[in-house]
Amino acid sequence: MLGRRHLPRTLTIGSVVVLLIVVLAALGPWITPYATDAFAVRERLQAPSAAHWFGTDEFGRDVFSRVLAGAHYSLLMGFGATGISLLIGVPLGMLAAFHRGWVEELIMRGVDLLISIPPVLLGLLILATADPGLFKTIIAVGVVYVPIMTRLARAVSLSLLAEDFVDAARARGDGAVRILWREILPNAWPPIIVETSLRITFAILLGSALSFLGLGPQPPASEWGLMIAESRPFIEEAPWIGLAPGLCLCLLLVMVNIVGEGLRDLLDPRLQGRGHG
């Protein structure tokens, strides 16, 4: 399916940029021009220059180094949290689809409950009582998106279970595991992948918002949301401290979003039917 269609240009560009950011984030801590925690009081609040591409902050730390070293936080929050919601939500949703009855009722009422709590509130609730940190932020954001993944996985599985080829498998007496593995999963992944890739944008957004509120990684971590929050007192004097991580975050988010939307256009069968007369 993927091979025959040629990729939309935006998807290609988006994927390349996201991949580049991933590589930079992975190498980040080793390729920074300055140590991220090197205080240099004499060089504080310097504007961007050849020596300091993004300037320096109130402690004289090199903002470019900090942004580079902080890239992995956003990616970990985005991919990690989405991964958690995928790993918990998809099996739960499939279980609900397979076991109509009280198992389904239990799972879906739980989902209804979680979904009726605003996402940020759920995140705040989980983080409010624990010592904040990267790992807990990832878990909090992941839990927020579990119900959405569960609903999606259930809906997809239910529609596939109604397909005749699944009945054909049942008429052969194939076991539940084989039906799941051979008939359901290969057909369920495209919509789930699409939703996942769109979710990553929201997970990064939520994660960085929580960090911004001080509930994510703690100083001196150079998480971008946190850096923006810390830059607020110097916004007039030294706007680059906040703008640099902010623009990087925007670039990442827009590109991840473009990849998600591109994948949706590519894989969503409802959209594929359009415009072919």
Partner 1 sequence: MTAYILRRMLSVVAVVWAMTVLVFCIVHLLPGSVAHMILGEFATDDAIRLLEARLGLNDPLATQYWRWFSGLLRGDFGLSLTMERPAGPIILEALGRSAILAGISIVLVATIGIALGIHSAVNKGSPSDHALTLAQYFFIAVPEFFWCILAILLFAAWLGWLPATGYTPLAEGGLLGWGRHLVLPVATLVLGLIAHVSRMVRSSMLEALDSQYVLAARAKGLAERIVLYRHALPNALLPAITVLAVDVGLLIGGIVVVETVFAYPGLGRMLVYAIDNQDLPLMMGGMIVVTCVYALANLAADILYAVLNPRIRYGGAAT
Partner 2 sequence: MADAKTPLLEIRDLSLRYATARGKVQALDKVSLALPRGRAMGLVGESGSGKSSLVLALLGLLGKGAELSSALAQFDGQDLRKTAAALRGRRIGMVFQDPSAVLNPTLTIGYQVAEPLIHHRGLAERAALARAVALLNEVGIARAEAVARSYPHQLSGGMKQRAVIATALACEPELLLLDEPTTALDVTVEAQILDLLDGLRRTRNVAMLLVSHNLGIVDRLCDDLTVLYAGRVVEQGRASEILQTPRHPYTRGLLAALPRADQGRLARLTPIPGGLPDLTRPDPGCNFRARCAFAEEACTAPQALDDKAGCQVRCHRADAVAAAPLPQPEPMAAARKEATGAPLLIAMEMSKSFRLGSAFSLTFSGGLPRLRRATEVVAVDDVSLHVARGEVLGLVGESGCGKSTLGRLVLRLLEANAGRLSLDGQVVPAVPGVEFRRRAQIVFQNPDSSLNPRQRVREALRWPLIRFGLADGAEADREVDRLLELVRLPASYGSRYPHQMSGGEKQRIGIARALASRPDFLVCDEAVSALDVSVQAAVLNLLSDLRERLGLAYLFISHDIGVIAHVATRIAVMYRGAIVEQGSAAQVLAPPYHPYTEALLSAVPLVGAKTRVRVRLMGDASTAPSSTGCRFAPRCPHRIGAICDSLPPPVRTSAQGHRIACHLPVETLAALPPALGRAA
180 close to 243: Cβ distance less than 8 angstroms: no
47 close to 240: Cβ distance less than 8 angstroms: yes
73 close to 134: Cβ distance less than 8 angstroms: yes
Q: Which of partner 2, partner 1, none binds 121 (CB below 5-8 Å, type-dependent)?
A: partner 1
Question: Taking the complex as a whole, how short is the minimal distance between the CB of residue 55 and partner 2, in angstroms?
Answer: 51
251: Cβ contacts below 8 Å, ≥ 6 apart: 17, 21
Of 94, 100, 86, 119, whose CA–CA distance to 194 is shortest? 86
Q: Please give the residues from 160 up to 219 whose contact with partner 1 meets the rule CB under 8 A.
A: 201, 205-206, 208-209, 212-215
- Stretch touching partner 1 by CB under 8 A, among 21-29, 37-45, 92-100, 240-248: 240-248
Q: What is the CA 101 to chain-centroid distance, rounded?
A: 33
Q: Which of partner 2, partner 1, none binds 20 (CB below 5-8 Å, type-dependent)?
A: none
Q: Which of partner 2, partner 1, none binds 256 (CB below 5-8 Å, type-dependent)?
A: partner 1
Question: Taking the complex as a whole, how short is the minimal distance between the CB of residue 265 and partner 2, in angstroms?
Answer: 14
235 close to 246: Cβ distance less than 8 angstroms: no
Per CB under 8 A, 173 contacts partner 2: yes
- Stretch touching partner 2 by CB under 8 A, among 110-118, 158-166, 201-209, 212-220: 158-166
- According to DSSP, residue 136 is labeled H
Question: Taking the complex as a whole, how short is the minimal distance between the CB of residue 157 and partner 1, in angstroms?
Answer: 22
